[in-house]
Amino acid sequence: MNHRLANKRALVTGGSRGIGAAIVRRLAAEGAQVALTYVSNPAKAEETVQAARALGVKALAIQADSADAGALTAAVDKAANELGGIDILVNSAGIAVMAPLDEFRLEDLDRTLAVNVRAVFVATQAAAKHMKEGGRIICIGSCNAERMPFAGGGVYAMSKAALVGLVKGLARDLGPRGITINNVQPGPVDTDMNPATTDFAKTLIQLMALPRYGTGDEIASLVAYLASPEAGYLTGASLTIDGGFTA
């Protein structure tokens, strides 16, 4: 694989499994040193770190709950210290709580916003202090920002729609410093938390132009492009990769 990210330093929040882990592996395969954050599964985090190291790069895992602004800021600073700086930040940590309107708890709304929105701002603010010209920030949103075809997902959709505006606004702050920020909006992706073999998955596939779930590696390929020098003129954008879910 082309090592277009050689000598770059990357931090992926929520990078221990699923889409986040696929992103860690892809960035490592392209030559980037990588740090990841995780919340509660050190074994899974270590597995992803070892996969990155096997590709010949430095890699480390940092325990931090993205809902805790202090812990997240400390994790960003630790990654910068361990790697010698940060060139790429991927805000991949996220949660999805689904429930009918009458049953949705306010504490779940608050945590959804804390992880899916506030943490993106906190990590971006902290990482930008370590970035030089050419820095890249990529957020992992969702196609549900544009289409929520079933009940119970309003809060999740709201949190991902908020990223669209946040990224547009932060592009104005970061642009004069030569730093880009973009938002990737995946559709249904086959992960351990959303496997492609369930009855729920079958209902989603019926809504798509391509009758299948995506893979973490497919999402990671778009993230790697946005992190690369080739994407230097792209900022403030939300790019949907959803198999035609929103078509």
Cα separation, 17 vs 191, whole angstroms: 8
Active site residue 156: yes
The structure tokens listed for 111 are 């945590």
Helical H segments across 3-153, by residue range: 18-29, 42-53, 69-83, 106-113, 119-128
Q: What is the 3-state secondary structure (H, E, C) of 180-222?
A: EEEEEEECCECCCCCCCCCHHHHHHHCCCCCCCCECHHHHHHH
Q: Tokens representing 103?
A: 């049953």
For residues 139 and 163, the answer to whether their CB atoms sit within 8 Å is yes
Per annotation, catalytic residue among 38, 156, 213, 233: 156
18 conformational bin, left if phi > 0, alpha if psi -120 to 50, beta if neither: left
* CB atoms near residue 60 (< 10 Å): 18
Q: Crossing angle of helices 42-53/18-29, nearest 10°? A: 20
Q: How far apart are CA 130 and CA 87, in angstroms?
A: 8
Q: Is 95 exposed, middle or buried (0-12, 13-18, 19+ CB in 10 A)?
A: middle
Closest CA to 30 of 50, 2, 7, 9: 2
Give catalytic residue positions: 156
